[in-house]
Chains A and B, each alone.
Chain A
Amino acid sequence: MTALLGDTVRVVGETAGGLPEATGVPIVAFALLMVLLIERETARPVLHGTRAARVRSLTFVLVPLLVLFLSAVTAQIVDLLT
């Protein structure tokens, strides 16, 4: 058993791009990425000391979202070109 590969994930994978449900998840993830990046940039000049360090240390949340964003955009471009 693995948490990252449940029944629903496999169903979504089999219909990848073919159902609104399958394309809706990356859209929510992009919106989340935008919110977190905007928050980070607006907080940067305001926060100092420990809180500024905490903001910097939370980069680990952005990394997977950026990977998801790049892979979804790449897949769409490849789909358009082929």
Chain B
Amino acid sequence: MSAGIRERPGAESSARPRTTWQDLDTAVVAAVVVLTIAAEIAVAAQRTVLAAVLDAAAIVLAVNGDVIGQGPHARRGALGALALVPLARLLSLGMAVEDPVVSLSAAGAPMLLATVLAARTVGVDPGAQLRGLGARSQWPLALAGLAAGGVGAALFRPQPLIADPGPLAAAAALLAVFVFAGVFEELLFRGVLQSALRPVGRWPAPVATVLFASLYLDAGWTAAGAAAVGGSAAAWWVSRTRSLAGVAVAHGMFAAGFLVGWPLLYS
């Protein structure tokens, strides 16, 4: 397995460049990203079985790259953590049922557990990250998420996530969307992946932002573009403040408002 692969190129000159563990590491990251984006394009085209096969291939590649590799990403556990993105899509498709809130909770709960376990592997403490909400700087961002959800709902008029506007059903839907959109997605992309993947220049973990945006391709190019912009801003904020709390609450309030709260009020 290690034939032709070494940790660093030696001082001696060679006519043929040799593959390093870092090259292999980068190739695995690139292949996982390409497979995941291809799967998301298949999801957008409603080719769900093809998407599942591509996601499964990405997961096998990421897991094996993590075990075999000795590059910087493999040593940090980043390759294994990358498997969480195609895994989230596979689970959301596999656990889909008629009730969207049940679908979201059924896929979100095991993925949140997996993300918390992965966070320990890459050295992220989810509790400490989320406790930063006590900091005054995090609250304006969190409240801006609620306002942005209202503006978005007024502009795009989405269908309410729940047909029954009873208080119990509405509360359950608000909680499910807040936890499994806000907390889960921010913990995965801005917590685990951003910590495990390397920054490029002053851009913290662009691979994590690209994967985050690709998961919204199913909702259209506008949504994917908005996710890319929002994801980049959230990545910058987390790298600056070293806390996930503000972006997690902002994302949760935005999603819960956009999908449940504001549509119910408007209707």
Residues of A within 8 A of B (CB): 1-14, 16, 20-22, 24-26, 28-29, 31-32, 35-36, 39, 43, 47, 51, 54-55, 57-61, 63-65, 67-68, 71-72
Contact = CB atoms under 8 A, between A and B. Distances in A.
A29 B107 contact: no
Most buried by B among A3, A5, A14, A29: A3
A13 B100 CA distance: 8
Given A36-B60, A57-B77, A60-B117, A6 B216 contact: yes
6 contacts: A1-B255, A4-B181, A7-B219, A25-B52, A51-B67, A68-B110
Given A1-B258, A3-B216, A28 B56 contact: yes
Nearest to B56: A32
A4 B77 CA distance: 24
A55 B185 CA distance: 25
A43 B117 CA distance: 21
Contact of A31 (B56, B63, B215, B227): B56
Contacts of A6: 43, 92, 215-216, 218-219
A68 B59 CA distance: 15
Contacts of B56: 28-29, 31-32
A25 B90 contact: yes
Given A2-B185, A8-B43, A58 B96 contact: no
Interface of B: 43-44, 46, 48-49, 52-53, 56, 59-60, 63-64, 66-68, 74, 77, 80, 83-84, 87-100, 103-104, 106-108, 110-111, 113-115, 117-118, 121, 161, 177, 180-181, 184-185, 212, 215-216, 218-219, 223, 226-227, 254-255, 258-259
Contacts of A4: 88, 91-92, 103-104, 107-108, 111, 180-181, 184
Given A4-B111, A4-B180, A28-B52, A68 B95 contact: yes
A29 B161 CA distance: 27
- Decide if the interface of chain A is mainly helix, strand, loop or mixed: helix
Contacts of B92: 3-6, 9
Nearest to A32: B56
